[in-house]
Amino acid sequence: MILRSFWEHDLAWSFRRSPVTIVAAALTVICVGAALLAPWLSPQDPFNMAELNLNEAFAPPAWDEKGLGRYPLGTDNQGRDILSTIMHGARISLGVGLAAVAFSLALGVSLGLIAGYVGGRFDALIMRIADVQLSFPAILIALLIDGVARVALPGDRHDDLAIPVLVLAIGFAGWVQYARTVRGSTMVEKEKEYVQAARVVGRSPLAIMLAHVLPNVMGPVLVIGTIHIATAIITEATLSFLGVGVPATRPSLGTLIRIGNEFLYSGEWWITVFPGLALVTLVLSVNLLGDWLRDALNPKLR
């Protein structure tokens, strides 16, 4: 019954009508599935250093003459199976991406909500900070936070804390969009009758914000969030490509691409190409889904 009503819902209808979206969704499911199930599906555990064999490093993909059957997409410079590493790497990339989006969403939405609802000086302060931050590229801010954290944290804890730091760095770099969007919508909503009514009955500002305003401003936030996942994954990959992201013993997609980049000249193309393809596929399909969601939720386009 629920399924049926979902099937007939507006969203599902527009989903069914868009073949691109269906393909994108399928790819996303495959990527996410592979990432989630990596510990069980992947032929090798690339993070278990004892499983790596340096003598089998640089093996080309299996279909190449010199390829080895147990490494379908070849191995990297340490003897890690590329396929397994992509699966585990995607897991890190997705995890970092989702966590970073959740963090910046929470931060951005709360700040935007308060700024829009309270207004005045607080609003001005938050929005000026947002303006300043918008004048920097997100990657710079993430680099800055990552760099400061590296100096501040004790050396031997870097590896353990690399991922949380990355999440915070990317999260901080992305909250502005949410804050701006939510603030705008909040300012519109707070003048409406239902909010005024709630105020008249004497509900506290916090309750009004959370119970009445928030649900009505979440639509656009979800759209931004979906698209932001793709951006966050790219940012994580960029940081790891630059060598400041996750530790090299636990490579994410960006780290793999960086490692492979060093061997492009010497002909070991598979180390960088396959993770690159995986990254493109993942980001593109998430982006397409985001686009579709934006159009589907936009009443003007219906």
- Which residues are at the interface with another protein (CB under 8 A)? 48-55, 57-58, 77-79, 155-156, 158-159, 247-249, 261-268
Q: Residue 208 corresponds to which tokens in the numbers above? A: 């009004």
> How far apart are CB 281 and another protein at their closest, in Å?
24
Comparing CB distances to another protein, the nearer of 129 and 248 is 248
Q: What are phi and psi for residue 46, nearest 5 degrees?
A: -70, -15
Strands (E), the chain: none
Amino acid at 121: R
Distance separating alpha carbons of residues 2 and 73, to the nearest angstrom: 42
Query: Could you tell me the smallest distance in angstroms from the CB atom of residue 161 to another protein?
Result: 12
| 8 Rama class: left (phi>0) / alpha (psi -120 to 50) / beta | alpha
* Least Cβ distance, residue 237 to another protein (angstroms): 17
Of the pair 128, 158, the CB lying nearest another protein is at 158
Nearest distance from residue 238's CB to another protein, in Å? 15
Cβ distance to another protein smaller for residue 15 or 263: 263
Looking at the Cβ atoms of 29 and 242, the one nearer to another protein is 242
Question: Can you tell me the distance from the alpha carbon of 111 to that of 129, in angstroms, rounded to the nearest whole number?
Answer: 11
How many residues are listed for the chain in this entry?
302
Under DSSP, is residue 81 helix (H, G, I), strand (E, B) or coil? Answer: strand
Is the CB of 205 or the CB of 247 nearer to another protein? Answer: 247
CB 272 within 8 A of CB 264: yes
The least CB distance from residue 262 to another protein, in Å, is 5
- Closer residue to another protein, CB minimum distance, 135 or 266: 266
Instruction: Please name the helix (run of DSSP H) or strand (run of DSSP E) that holds residue 191, with its range, or none.
Output: none
Q: Report the nearest approach of another protein to the CB of residue 159 (Å).
A: 6
Q: Could you tell me if 229 and 90 are in contact, meaning their C-beta atoms sit under 8 angstroms apart?
A: no
Distance CA(59)–CA(53), nearest Å, equals 11
